Amino acid sequence: MPELPEVETTRRGIEPVILNRTLQTMQIRERRFRWPIPDELPQVVIDQPLLAVGRRAKYLLWSFPNGTIIIHLGMSGSIRRVQADSFWNLHDHVEWTFEGGQVLRLHDPRRFGAVLWHPIEDGDILSHPLLKNLGVEPMGSEFTAKLLYDQTRNQRIHIKQSLLNGKIVVGVGNIYASESLFRARIHPETLAQNLTRPQATRLFNAINQTLEAALTSGGSTLRDYMNPNAQPGAYFELHAAVYGKADEPCPQCGTKIQRIVQNQRATYFCPKCQRRPRTRKSAP
């Protein structure tokens, strides 16, 4: 699944191509996504200049004078720059053509993404139901070790689940959660409310380091993920410490990496570097 580094890589890749350019056409070949693409969307945005290419969590936000297109890449989506009039691939579903001949296509084999419209009369884009209850952005001034510690005090769930639900901090998906917990030397089954202040500080630093490393190299390599230049990411293909490496030696101590399933998601950790918490309570 494209996570925050992949989405931010996409945002950075397409911003210089389309920012401040007028949208000339929007062609929709398939409307059936997680939520149907609004029928009227092409007519609403055509001939409008694109004022900003933003991101909130894993949502891309294309701001026009009359509203904002909200794009989510779902489980397998990507936005790629293509040549005008080039052949449509099987799972290319939406195409945007901007002035100057800049063409972007949304490719999504599973169609679990979204292309939605938030008109300006509905208020600030961050008030949209999909965005208003999200946690803070990582790698920003609002995200601190104190915030992480304070907001886990009443969470009787495993720390990995707390990271994934996005209520404290957004963008720490399954791969990055496993990697961050390994960097911080925290067992993934530690209850969030039992996180100590030193652990919270280590985890805060580990989250930022892991995401920054992924951004530097363009996102993680996933089977379906392609960056805006139609090239796969490279980070975890080369540098993952634990994710996807069950039974391989830990890069720190040589102990075999273990794999468990938490809330139907695979978790990888080193049982020696990330010792199981001494005091254990059952998470709901």
Based on the fold, state whether residues 68 and 163 are members of the same structural domain: no
Cα(218)–Cα(6) distance, integer angstroms: 7
pLDDT score for 221: 44
> Is the separation of the CB atoms in 6 and 227 below 8 Å?
yes
- Nearest by Cα to 2 from 107, 140, 116, 132: 107
245 an active-site residue? no
pLDDT score for 238: 46
249 an active-site residue? no
Based on the fold, state whether residues 60 and 9 are members of the same structural domain: yes
Based on the fold, state whether residues 111 and 10 are members of the same structural domain: yes
Tokens of 10: 């996409």
- Select which of 265, 271, 272, 277 is catalytic: 265
What's the CATH number where 171 sits? Answer: 1.10.8.50
**Into how many domains does the chain fold?**
2
> Is the separation of the CB atoms in 159 and 177 below 8 Å?
no
38 an active-site residue? no
Residue 94: inside a domain: yes
3 an active-site residue? yes
* Mean pLDDT of successive 10-residue stretches along the chain, which has 284 residues: 85 94 97 93 96 96 98 91 91 96 94 96 95 94 97 96 95 93 98 97 96 78 49 54 96 97 95 83 50
- Select which of 58, 105, 160, 183 is catalytic: 58
Listed in sequence order, the residues at least 6 apart from 94 whose beta carbon sits closer than 8 Å to its beta carbon are 26, 27, 28, 29, 30, 37, 105, 106, 115
First to last CA, the chain: 26
What's the CATH number where 106 sits? Answer: 3.20.190.10
Based on the fold, state whether residues 194 and 107 are members of the same structural domain: no
This prediction has a pTM of 0.86
- Report CA-CA distances (Å) from 79 to 112, 120, 234: 14, 24, 17
- Select which of 2, 5, 188, 228 is catalytic: 2
Residue 249: inside a domain: yes
Q: Which domain holds residue 15?
A: 4-127
pLDDT score for 225: 44
Interhelix angle 4-18/197-216, rounded to 10 degrees, is 40
Based on the fold, state whether residues 22 and 121 are members of the same structural domain: yes
Domain stops at, among 74, 94, 127? 127
Domain stops at, among 66, 92, 127? 127
